[in-house]
Amino acid sequence: MSLTAEHLRAGHRPDIPVLDDVGIEIPRGRTIGLTGPSGAGKTTLARVCALLHRPWSGRVSVDGAVVSGRAEAPPETRRAIAMLFQSPRQSTSPRLTLERIVTEPLLIARVPRRQRSDVVHAAAARVGLTADLLTRRPHQVSDGQLQRACLARALVQRPRYLICDEMTAMLDPATTAAVVAVLREETRTGLGVLAVSHDHALLRAWADDVVELPVNAGARTP
Ligand SMILES: Nc1ncnc2c1ncn2[C@@H]1O[C@H](COP(=O)(O)OP(=O)(O)OP(=O)(O)O)[C@@H](O)[C@H]1O
């Protein structure tokens, strides 16, 4: 069981591929580190794996089922993949409380109201967010606290795969360690993680395998 990308060719500008015949496999229960020089295409690859960026060619499959894009994927496949970004502020609404932010996947999945609160509070406790913090809005908490809320939001979705794009880059060492500890527990129960980072020491401690993405010739073309 894995999230697999094969022979990907993808980019942002016509005829200038960022990824040219690139592949990666994220098995369930393992953390794959992804590193490489700036501009190599790590974020592009992460977004293709999360079905957020459509490749020009190649194949993405989730547990054996080929997926052509997020819009076409069945809800069950969309729910199977969650993504965490470097900046939690760009992936949360400033108008919502942290509790409402964490609740979001349960609203989408139409989980009954009486079950939602227990699930959200359990996930918040898991990532080290107190009930008081859950009542605040993003501008009233630190980046680390908001990233913990984003992690809780991802956990309540119960994804099979989690794509983390530099998710610890804005965090202090204690928060990074806490977040990585939660994710390592999740991998033990079957979550597959792609961890994109420039921090080699972090990936050595966190990942089971580390893949280096070289800059390809197409990406260097002006
Ligand atoms: N939306 C976009 N429009 C045009 N070009 C883009 C876009 N996003 C990324 N690129 C280009 O694609 C290439 C790969 O970018 P990407 O962000 O995937 O690399 P990266 O390895 O994650 O880099 P970094 O380590 O600096 O975050 C770069 O040359 C970048 O300028």
Residue numbers of the domain that contains 215: 2-220
Alpha carbon separation from 81 to 15, 28, 77 (Å, rounded): 29, 12, 7
Burial of residue 24 (CB within 10 Å: 0-12, 13-18, 19+) is buried
pLDDT in tens, the chain (222 residues): 999 999 999 999 988 999 999 999 999 999 999 999 999 999 999 999 999 999 999 999 999 999 977 888 888 899 999 999 999 999 999 999 999 999 999 999 899 998 999 999 999 999 999 999 999 999 999 999 999 999 999 999 999 999 999 999 989 999 999 999 999 999 999 999 999 999 999 999 999 999 999 877 555 544
CA distances from 213 to 17, 149, 196 (A): 14, 30, 10
**Both tokens assigned to 100:** 């409402």
Distance CA 100, CA 49 (A): 27
**Which three-class secondary structure string do you get for the chain?**
CEEEEEEEEEEEECCEEEEEEEEEEEECCCEEEEECCCCCCHHHHHHHHCCCCCCCEEEEEECCEEECCCCCCCHHHHHHEEEECCCHHHHCCCCCCHHHHHHHHHHHCCCCHHHHHHHHHHHHHHHCCCHHHHCCCHHHCCHHHHHHHHHHHHHHCCCCEEEEECCCCCCCHHHHHHHHHHHHHHHHCCCEEEEECCCHHHHHHHCCEEEECCCCHHHHCC
Task: Tell me what ipTM this predicted complex has.
Answer: 0.96
What does the pLDDT read at residue 155?
A: 96
CATH number, domain with residue 58? 3.40.50.300
Q: Is the CB of 147 under 6 A from ligand 1?
A: no
Q: Residue 48 C-alpha to ligand 1 middle, in angstroms?
A: 13
- Number of structural domains in the chain: 1
State whether the beta carbon of 41 lies less than 6 angstroms from ligand 1. Answer: yes
Q: Hey, whose CA ends up nearest to atom 3 of ligand 1? A: 12
Query: What pLDDT score was predicted for residue 218?
Result: 52
Q: Is the C-beta atom of 18 inside 6 A of ligand 1?
A: yes
Q: How far is the CA of 134 from the centre of ligand 1 (A)?
A: 34
Strands 2-13 and 57-62: antiparallel
How far is residue 213's CA from residue 99's CA, in Å, rounded to a whole number?
37
